[in-house]
Chains A and B, each alone.
Chain A
Amino acid sequence: MVNSTGELTVTGVNHSYGTGKIKVPVLYDINLHINKGEFVALCGSSGSGKSTLLNLLAGLTKPEEGSVTVSGAQISSYSENELCMFRRKNMGFIFQSYNLLPNLTALENVELPLIFAGESKKKRRAKATEILHRVGLEGRIDHRPNELSGGQQQRVSIARALVNQPGIILADEPTGNLDSKTEQEILLLMREMNKENGTTFIIVTHEQEVAEQSDRVIYLQDGRVVQKRTRPA
């Protein structure tokens, strides 16, 4: 397994949904390169293929054509189990609906990736507590998701994504369920983590505020990359 460097390359990817004769094409000839430590926004209208592209980058879907290389590893050829192990070491995920396990506390949710990585209880507790402090949830570590606000739940989700110190964070509409004030806080937090740790952030969004805060914005329309805009320094 290649060590995480946080770089991503997509080469000649075509993808469609459905099987047999009925196939719906969603991505056409996608070519991308994202550098380590970049904060990238994937924008586009509904059905433009941005979530499908994110799933391809995460290895949750295999491209029909082309290849996806993450941190030097061509993950499009990996088996399901290899992908699970690769994700555990190299990637963190932030979802729009937080996707925390409802029966576990904030601390236990953050500990989960470390459990799968085989960390000792003492180490994982220390790491999870530290990261929860960093995202500003020191007083909420023993609360269950239903006892937390949307913003707090998303902070737990960010802490969970970062706890394994991955090179890449993939976020699917991370501020979609939040009010504008909380959205700003979460964006700020993600930006902070991006700068502090040099972690690559790829965020699927259709919120203009998110796009404005990104280093680069990639626009998709009908499955094609139509524009790549880099924020002026």
Chain B
Amino acid sequence: MKLRTALTSVGVMIGTAAIVAMMALSLGLKESAVKSLENFGNLTEMDVEPLRWYEEKGEWIDVPEDKVKKLNMQAVQELKKIPGIQAVMPIKELREQAKLKVGRREGYVQLIGVDVNESAAYRKNDIEKGDYLTGSPQEVVVAFDVSRELRDVEKEKREERRRRTGGGQAGQSTMPPDMGGGESIGFNIVDRAATLILSREYRIDDEPKYEKKELRVRVVGQLKKTEERGSSSAVYVPINVVKELNDWVTRGREEENNEGSTRRTREQAKKDTFEFDRITVKVESREKVEGVVAALKEKGFEVWSPARELETINNFFFVIQMVLGGIAAISLLVATIGIVNTMIMSILERTKEIGIMKVIGATVLNIRWLFLMESGFIGLIGGLAGLGMAWGAVELVNYFGASGGLLDSLNMGYGGGNPEGEPSKLAVIPGWLALFAIGFSFVIGVLAGIFPAIRASRLSALQAIRSE
């Protein structure tokens, strides 16, 4: 390779390295911002609720009550049709708190009904101990903190009595563990029989009535610890169980109010107006989240998920990428002009060669192809070298960025990175960027060769062969 050609490739190398390094930096920052966002919850899972108001020209507008979406089976079917949604998991919560009793320990829990068929595939991965629900009404799965919140009430009462009579140790806390009164210690409740206890109060002829219902269940599994506070005391059961228990809880009250109605018409009315409390949708991949959020909003749903922030992050970093990439592209433009110059010089030097080739049968296309490939390869070699240079720069930036704590100060206000997961990087070169850089530098080379190639192919064979 001639020195002139090598220097032209160095120009392309610098241009490509600048673009790749800049893109890698903005992609790395975006990735760490998204990872920080993931600390607030799984981005591919989002809770869907009906849209009740929306913003238009800076004003908040209420959605008319008759237009507010209902979270019923029709909504579930509608959500399933949205491209990118992998599963739709409707949830129904028990309106009253239930008591869960395992052995001598008991505590109040939030009973959550889930569609076992839809959720099994995804929730199975969240199981820490035991198994997920199979659909049997006697099975429950508990959240991580449930076992820690169950207390041995009888034992506590005995200790309280002992303290009052002066038998207890001085300075011992009188507060229950979950209120800071002591260390909260979990015990294994998986694979143990348990009882769900519900109660209802109602009046008949102004006389208060109190009724209790006990449900024998088996704790089949325990979920992993999660940051979502709302689910800390959750006990998951098949959705039909919650439906029935809700009916039982509300029946007493409705009997107070609607003594004249027949049982059949009431049940029909319930069936027609049955609504879920919320619907969780699982998106196929993080890349499809933005599209799904937009489709949900278009269909009149509101989304409650950190994924809502993805659009803002993507837009912000798109602008950053364009600005950084644009600045770096200037050096590639200069390199492209360098290729054009080198190719024109090469044609001047090789005029006789072009003439010989034309005389022995090279067509216009043959000559153009020859010079286009030559300039394309100058670009390609520069691109490959530039990619290597950018890779080295990215490794250095990541090394010094990690050791200097720069990443921690650049977490975009979304919280720190996940200490258990892969460490965040300040800059990343994804496979597509590497391929794009190589392809782009080759294309740049080919484009730069178009004018010289046309010029070469137009040379007169006779004049070219006579030139020295």
A residues near B (Cβ < 8 Å) are 55, 58, 60-61, 80-81, 84-85, 87-89, 92-93, 95, 99, 101, 112-113, 116-117, 160, 164
User: What distance in Å separates the Cβ of A160 from its nearest Cβ neighbour in chain B?
Assistant: 7
Given contacts A55-B462, A93-B359, contact A84 B353 (CB under 8 A): no
The one of B357, B358, B361, B365 that contacts A117, using a Cβ cutoff of 8 Å: B361
Given contacts A99-B352, A101-B353, A116-B366, contact A93 B360 (CB under 8 A): yes
Given A81-B363, A99-B465, A116-B360, 18 extra CB contacts under 8 A: A58-B359, A80-B364, A81-B364, A84-B361, A84-B461, A87-B360, A87-B361, A88-B360, A88-B361, A93-B359, A95-B465, A99-B352, A101-B353, A113-B361, A116-B361, A116-B363, A116-B366, A160-B360
User: What distance in Å separates the Cβ of A62 from its nearest Cβ neighbour in chain B?
Assistant: 11
Cβ of A113: which chain B residues have Cβ within 8 Å of it? 360-361
The one of B356, B363, B462, B465 that contacts A84, using a Cβ cutoff of 8 Å: B363
Cβ of B73: which chain A residues have Cβ within 8 Å of it? none
In the complex, which residues 50-93 of chain B have their Cβ closer than 8 Å to any Cβ of chain A? none
Cβ of A60: which chain B residues have Cβ within 8 Å of it? 359, 461-462
Cβ of A61: which chain B residues have Cβ within 8 Å of it? 462
In the complex, which residues 23-41 of chain B have their Cβ closer than 8 Å to any Cβ of chain A? none
User: What distance in Å separates the Cβ of B174 from its nearest Cβ neighbour in chain A?
Assistant: 92
* A78–B359 CA distance with the chains assembled, in angstroms: 15
Cβ of A89: which chain B residues have Cβ within 8 Å of it? 361
User: What distance in Å separates the Cβ of B339 from its nearest Cβ neighbour in chain A?
Assistant: 20
Is there a chain A Cβ closer than 8 Å to B362's Cβ?
A: yes
List 24 A-B pairs, Cβ < 8 Å.
A60-B462, A80-B364, A81-B363, A81-B364, A84-B361, A84-B364, A84-B461, A85-B361, A88-B360, A88-B361, A88-B362, A88-B363, A92-B360, A93-B359, A95-B465, A99-B356, A99-B359, A101-B353, A112-B360, A113-B361, A116-B361, A116-B362, A116-B363, A160-B360
Q: Chain A CB within 10 Å — which of B358, B364, B461, B462 has the most?
A: B461
Cβ contact within 8 Å between A164 and B361: yes
Cβ of B353: which chain A residues have Cβ within 8 Å of it? 101
* A203–B194 CA distance with the chains assembled, in angstroms: 110
Cβ of A92: which chain B residues have Cβ within 8 Å of it? 360
Q: Specify the chain B residue showing the minimal Cβ separation from A86.
A: B361
User: What distance in Å separates the Cβ of A24 from its nearest Cβ neighbour in chain B?
Assistant: 16
Cβ of B363: which chain A residues have Cβ within 8 Å of it? 81, 84-85, 88, 116
User: What distance in Å separates the Cβ of A161 from its nearest Cβ neighbour in chain B?
Assistant: 8
Q: Chain A CB within 10 Å — which of B352, B360, B363, B461 has the most?
A: B360
Cβ of A99: which chain B residues have Cβ within 8 Å of it? 352, 356, 359, 465
B interface, by DSSP: helix, strand, loop or mixed? helix
Cβ of A58: which chain B residues have Cβ within 8 Å of it? 359
User: What distance in Å separates the Cβ of A145 from its nearest Cβ neighbour in chain B?
Assistant: 12
Q: Specify the chain A residue showing the minimal Cβ separation from B352.
A: A99
Cβ of B359: which chain A residues have Cβ within 8 Å of it? 58, 60, 87, 93, 99
Cβ of A160: which chain B residues have Cβ within 8 Å of it? 360
**Per-residue interface assignment for chain B, residues 270 to 304, with 1 indicating a CB less than 8 Å from any chain A CB and 0 otherwise:** 00000000000000000000000000000000000
User: What distance in Å separates the Cβ of A117 from its nearest Cβ neighbour in chain B?
Assistant: 7
User: What distance in Å separates the Cβ of B369 from its nearest Cβ neighbour in chain A?
Assistant: 10
Cβ contact within 8 Å between A101 and B362: no
* A93–B465 CA distance with the chains assembled, in angstroms: 12
Q: Specify the chain B residue showing the minimal Cβ separation from A160.
A: B360
Cβ contact within 8 Å between B462 and A112: no
Cβ of B366: which chain A residues have Cβ within 8 Å of it? 84, 116
Cβ of A117: which chain B residues have Cβ within 8 Å of it? 361
User: What distance in Å separates the Cβ of A83 from its nearest Cβ neighbour in chain B?
Assistant: 8
User: What distance in Å separates the Cβ of B366 from its nearest Cβ neighbour in chain A?
Assistant: 5
Cβ contact within 8 Å between B364 and A112: no
Cβ contact within 8 Å between A116 and B357: yes
User: What distance in Å separates the Cβ of A43 from its nearest Cβ neighbour in chain B?
Assistant: 21
Cβ of A84: which chain B residues have Cβ within 8 Å of it? 358, 361-364, 366, 461
Cβ contact within 8 Å between B357 and A112: yes
* A60–B361 CA distance with the chains assembled, in angstroms: 11
Cβ of A87: which chain B residues have Cβ within 8 Å of it? 359-361
**Per-residue interface assignment for chain B, residues 340 to 352, with 1 indicating a CB less than 8 Å from any chain A CB and 0 otherwise:** 0000000000001
Cβ of A164: which chain B residues have Cβ within 8 Å of it? 361
Q: Specify the chain A residue showing the minimal Cβ separation from B355.
A: A99
* A87–B360 CA distance with the chains assembled, in angstroms: 7
A-B complex: 3 closest residue pairs judged by Cβ atoms: A88-B361, A60-B462, A84-B363
Cβ of B461: which chain A residues have Cβ within 8 Å of it? 60, 80, 84
Cβ of B364: which chain A residues have Cβ within 8 Å of it? 80-81, 84
Q: Specify the chain B residue showing the minimal Cβ separation from A112.
A: B360
Q: Specify the chain B residue showing the minimal Cβ separation from A90.
A: B361
* A93–B359 CA distance with the chains assembled, in angstroms: 8
* A164–B361 CA distance with the chains assembled, in angstroms: 10
